[in-house]
Amino acid sequence: MNTFDRMGNGWKISMAGFSVIRKNKQLLVFPILSGAVMLLIIATFIFAMLGSDFGQVQHLLDNGNPMRYFILFVYYLISYFVVVFFNMALIHCARLYFQGKTPTISDGLNFSMSRIGVIFSWALVAATVGLILRSIQEKVGIVGKIITGLVGLVWSVATFFVVPVLAYENLRPIDAVKRSAQIMREKWGESIGAGFSLLVFNLLGLLLVAVPLFFIGSLISTLASMILAFLGVLIVTTISSAAQTIFISAAYLKINNEEIEGFDDDTIDGLFYRKD
């Protein structure tokens, strides 16, 4: 499969994911809730710092202060927990849809609640890896930053299927990473074909939604332009995030020989290409 074929297939994959969203608009609630909770968490950290003594905050944020890494770890832990919780809810609702059922928001939330221990365990592992990479980046030169960036990329690829694996397979977090990496290595190859189409969607969305909203808002005030532009970015990223998560669900179900609606075999098999 040449580059242009991969681009075309990636576009079809994204369109199939968007089709599921168009038929089940309530699924967008999950990335919206995830984003809203994350904003609330960030705001909490900011207000906590603003309410503290400036000198004390500056001391806590100093690179040599162990408390700084503890705060980062807590932030990473909460962030990963929130994101995975709502992604798992969306993945489960997508599975119900692919089974011909009509999923509800409560179906997804109840399922994530039933797996909350697994989600927390995974958040601990992900937060630890994130903190280690962050600490290495802060202590090494440009070469070290490149290396840690590559390690982070490998980690992202290896954990591509971790959320559905955690959802449906009785595995511990480390074993879930191994299982996800095994699926990538044996079944799908090493490169994501749909990434380009999602990038194109984001760029087009920003140009067609966020930029016009910015100029419309500028006719009112600077604040209005910033608010409308932010809403435009939020809309685009929410839809894109939901489409990617839905496809991950579809791909995982397909490689486990479950029949799904809306995705044909050629489209699924083209998500990754194998290197010769």
pLDDT computed for residue 275 by the predictor: 46
| Rounded-to-integer distance, Cα 11 and Cα 247, Å | 12
Residues 6 or more apart whose Cβ sits within 8 Å of residue 207: none
276 residues of the chain, pLDDT tens digit each: 555 555 555 566 666 777 788 888 888 999 999 988 988 888 887 776 665 555 555 555 565 567 778 888 999 999 999 999 999 999 999 889 888 888 899 999 999 999 999 999 999 999 999 998 888 877 777 777 788 888 888 888 889 889 999 999 989 999 999 999 888 776 554 345 555 566 666 677 778 777 888 888 888 888 888 888 888 888 888 887 888 888 788 878 877 777 676 565 565 655 554 444
Burial of 22 (0-12, 13-18, 19+ CB in 10 A): exposed
- Domain of residue 247: give its range: 3-273
DSSP characters over 100-147: T----HHHHHHHHHHTHHHHHHHHHHHHHHHHHHHHHHHHS-HHHHHH
pLDDT computed for residue 276 by the predictor: 45
Counting the structural domains of the chain, the total is: 1
**Nearest Cα to Cα of residue 163 among 176, 178, 182, 174:** 176
Does the pTM of the predicted model rise above 0.85? no
